[in-house]
Amino acid sequence: MSQEESVEMQKPVCLIDSESTGKLQVNQEALNILTSIRQPVVVVSIVGMYRTGKSYLMNRLAGKNTGFALGSTIQSETKGIWMWCVPHPYKKNHTLVLLDTEGLGDVEKGDQAHDTWIFALAVLLSSTFVYNSMGTINNEAVMSLHYVTELTEHIKVKSSLEKEEETASNFTRFFPAFVWAVRDFTLELKIGGQQVTADDYLENSLKLMKGHSKQAVYSNAPRECIRNYFPSRKCFVFDQPASKDKLRIIEQLTDADLEPSFVKQTAEFCSYIFSHSNAKTITGGFTATGHMLGNLAAAYVEAIRNGSVPCLENAVLALSQIENSTAVEQSLALYRQLLGERVKLHTETQEELSRVHEGCLKEALEFFMKRSFKDENQVYQKQLMERIKDEYDGKCSENAVQSQTHCAALLQQLWSKLDHESFMRPGGYTDYRVQMDSIIQTYKGTPGKGVQADQALEIFVKEKSDLGASILSADKNLTEQERRVKEEEARAEMERFKAEVAKREQEDTMKRLEDAEKAHRENERQLMERMERERKAALEENQRVLDQRLKEQRALMQEGFESRSKMMEAQIQSLRQEVAASRNSGDGGGCVLL
């Protein structure tokens, strides 16, 4: 399976379960599956009181009737958090990750802290969070969501801030879209005698109670948390699917056996989830892959196991270190692979190797930009560039050695055809020079010698200079004057070879310097493009949070809570400044170039 292929599991596996001691732990099998997913993931989690039919909805999202355990008794079937990864039915090259959680409020378990952690993990890991309840959204139903009021006690956004300094806008950046699924709904969707939508019904149920009484404070707490932390909200109501007797065998039923209204409502729910659930993102607008989701899950669970409050900022930092280190190794491996595939034996010129290097570097950098995120001060990118430079230098050396070996063998082959002793006679030096010139011309005319062609020839000529001198000395047909002329000619030829080698070496050195400059420019170009993408993503995220806070402020004003509305002004001003800063950075301010 290639890294870009989707994973299709035949059945769910446990992602997070409890040890006998009650401590949460990540299941390695599930982690391995997530690690293999390099596509963006759309993560949908569902929570709710036990025995409320959560697993049925998740099976339908997976396109199946069975998979997540349904059960037909009053006992909770699902334990911990179970995961099912399937290709996304609407979004190409995306994987849909479904997380089914154990029922909250299980009387047999009776562990509220455990329930709160399950709730918190479902929130932290998902891009869409479905809360499943029975009957109606009355005060009791809202109050059963007390887990949401405890989220800020169990989660910390920034390591540098005290708990009381953290604002709703901080949490909003990390929290998913919220969907409330109301099961076995029997009322008419009317408010004040007027027909309303399910969304209107939800928003009306979340209106705050006026006054400062103990009851008002208690009642408003979960409502305020839902409004503040989940500004994107949606509601679906479902009729009872079938009679009690049929519900016990619901896994065996077809749509024809269920109430038509329930079948229609379920189809609308699934269609909405498929169409509107976004890919999981990390703060800053970075899209998460399955690999990143697995590491996030492991980081959060490890913090919980250690008895500390999971810090989202620290988790993202740890994730970035893991992802960026992996990105460096994989990008280097890609560069190495491409270079090996595209450079066969040795190249004819340094320029040819340079062109190949340039293409491989570009692809490796693009791969790194796609895989890495939050690489502060380009620490990992610089590391990659250094390692690619070392790899390229090594390839240049290897290329030179292969060329040298090839050329030496070629010259030896040509030389071996000569009978060296036959030149030790009168007139032998002239014949020797003719043969040597022939060898040199044949050698120069032979293609495929590579970058060390001139250097190898210089070494060859130098090695044979002593033999030439001996033959010259033995040639009795030459006068002393002629010998001196021949010796001078031999020295001049040697100097000519040296000059050619020096020129070639200078050209190759300049080419290598040019390669380094091109690499720097390519790195800078891709970095600028990446920084612009990240700036736009940050701007969009800040604008989204600002719009959400303004919407909530307007809602508070309309409901008559002017003092609460004014208390939000500081948050809104801070967000406006962040939006302005994101816009201004597009002018080039704040860019860190390598």
594 residues of the chain, pLDDT tens digit each: 344 566 778 889 999 987 666 789 999 999 999 999 989 999 999 998 866 678 889 989 998 877 777 543 334 445 789 999 999 999 999 999 999 988 776 655 556 778 888 888 999 999 999 999 888 888 888 887 778 878 777 787 777 655 545 666 677 778 899 999 998 888 888 888 899 999 999 999 999 888 888 888 888 888 888 888 888 899 999 988 876 665 565 666 666 778 899 899 999 999 999 999 999 988 767 889 999 999 999 999 998 888 877 888 788 888 889 889 999 999 999 999 999 999 877 888 888 889 999 999 999 999 999 888 888 889 999 999 999 999 999 999 998 999 999 999 999 999 888 877 777 777 777 888 888 889 889 988 999 888 888 888 888 888 888 887 887 777 767 666 676 777 677 777 777 877 777 787 787 778 888 888 888 888 888 888 888 887 888 888 888 888 888 888 888 888 888 888 888 888 888 888 888 887 887 655 444 444
Tokens 């909530």 sit at which residue? 552
15 φ, ψ (degrees, to nearest 5):
-90, -50
- Return the structure tokens found at 108: 């047999």
CATH superfamily placement of domain 323-542: Guanylate-binding protein, C-terminal domain (1.20.1000.10)
Cβ neighbors of 120 (< 8 A, separation 6 or more) are 147, 151, 154, 155, 310
Residue 589, pLDDT score: 47
Residue 44, pLDDT score: 97
The CA radius of gyration of the chain, in Å to the nearest whole number, is: 36
- Return the structure tokens found at 570: 């500081």
Residue 147, pLDDT score: 82
Distances (CA, A) of 107 to 56, 145, 248, 344: 22, 17, 21, 69
Q: Of 329, 395, 375, whose CA–CA distance to 526 is shortest?
A: 375
Residue 37, pLDDT score: 93
DSSP state of 588: T
Q: Which segments of the chain belong to CATH 3.40.50.300?
A: 13-310
Q: Which segments of the chain belong to CATH 1.20.1000.10?
A: 323-542
Residue 542, pLDDT score: 82
Residue 19, pLDDT score: 67
C-alpha span between 81 and 118 (Å, rounded) = 7
The CATH number that domain 13-310 falls under is 3.40.50.300
C-alpha span between 177 and 297 (Å, rounded) = 19
Distances (CA, A) of 164 to 117, 152, 350, 569: 21, 10, 62, 17
Residue 52, pLDDT score: 67
